[in-house]
């Protein structure tokens, strides 16, 4: 499948690398590809600059947000939550219309330091904001409840015996995403309902952050026991 992964951070890199390794045709979208490649310093988490990762992943393309989105059949929003609406606007509404848009982002607000709060929550969610702004995109919230390296490699933790949650208004789009998740080993997938249920998975993040803090390890997830 032709997939655009929007965002050049750890989440974007991890998803693009894994999708590409399983022979999807992946292009990463970024505001300014030249500037992205020109960065030569580690990010503030100490990760090497994007260009180093890109050299190690020659099959992954790099294009503008709109260029990557225009040619994609499926789009992954892996931009930071605070910049997602702006990035998707730059991707171009016409390039999103009718397409499955997997939103893995979280509206984390670090402006008051750590732990982050949410910039939207309770009676609204980032996923709903995206769906309202791009009514013809088929937004599916998924995978935002775990660290990037588990998203497409659930078997890295407890032999995959944990849960991924899916929200969205479009049943066919959710079926596409569910199929994709299954192809990466997910067996416990819960369809929570329409896109408003993304409030639940986004509001789970503050708990995730605290569990990460208490357990000292990001390789955690929840198994919904029932």
Kindly state whether residue 207 participates in binding its own copies, applying the rule CB under 8 A: yes
Q: Which C-beta is closer to its own copies: that of 176 or that of 202?
A: 202
Q: What is the DSSP letter of 40?
A: -
**CB closer to its own copies, 5 vs 192:** 192
Q: Which of 1, 70, 157, 189 binds its own copies (CB under 8 A)?
A: 157
Give the β-pairing of 25-30 and 61-64.
parallel
Q: Which of residues 92-121 bind its own copies (CB under 8 A)?
A: 112, 117-118, 121
Buried b (16+ CB within 10 A) or exposed e, 94-123: ebbeebbbbbbbbbbeeeeeeebebebbee
Residues 118-137 that bind its own copies (CB under 8 A): 118, 121-123
Smaller CB separation from its own copies, 70 or 220: 220
Question: Dihedral angle at the C-alpha atoms of 62, 68, 74, 78, nearest 10 degrees?
Answer: 60
Site mask, its own copies, residues 165-184, x = CB under 8 A? x-------------------
Q: For residue 11, what are the contacts with CB-CB under 8 A and spacing of at least 6?
A: 78, 104, 105, 148, 151
Cα–Cα distance for residue pair 99/71, rounded to 1 Å: 11
Give the nearer residue to its own copies in terms of CB position, either 40 or 223: 223
Question: Which residues are near its own copies by CB under 8 A?
Answer: 112, 117-118, 121-123, 157-158, 161-162, 165, 190-193, 197, 199-201, 203-204, 206-211, 213-215, 217, 219-226
């Amino acid at each position: 499948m032709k997939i655009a992964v929007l965002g050049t951070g750890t989440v974007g890199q991890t998803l693009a690398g894994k999708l590409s390794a399983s022979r999807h045709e992946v292009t990463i979208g970024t505001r300014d590809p030249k500037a992205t490649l020109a960065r030569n310093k580690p990010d503030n988490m100490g990760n090497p600059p994007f260009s180093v990762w890109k050299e190690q992943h020659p099959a992954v393309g790099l294009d503008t947000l709109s260029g990557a989105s225009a040619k994609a059949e499926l789009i992954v929003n892996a931009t930071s939550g605070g910049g997602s609406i702006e990035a998707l606007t730059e991707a171009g509404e016409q390039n999103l219309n009718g397409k499955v848009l997997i939103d893995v982002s979280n509206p984390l607000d670090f402006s008051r330091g750590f732990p982050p709060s949410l910039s939207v929550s309770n009676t609204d969610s980032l996923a709903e904001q995206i769906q309202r702004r791009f009514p013809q995109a088929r937004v599916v919230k998924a995978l935002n409840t775990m660290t990037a390296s588990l998203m497409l490699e659930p078997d890295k933790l407890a032999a995959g015996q944990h849960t991924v949650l899916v929200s969205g208004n479009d049943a066919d789009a959710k079926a596409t995403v569910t199929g994709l998740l299954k192809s990466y080993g997910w067996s416990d997938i819960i369809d929570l309902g329409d896109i408003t249920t993304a409030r639940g998975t986004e509001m789970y993040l503050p708990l995730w952050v605290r569990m990460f803090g208490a357990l000292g390890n990001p390789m955690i997830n929840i198994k919904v026991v029932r």
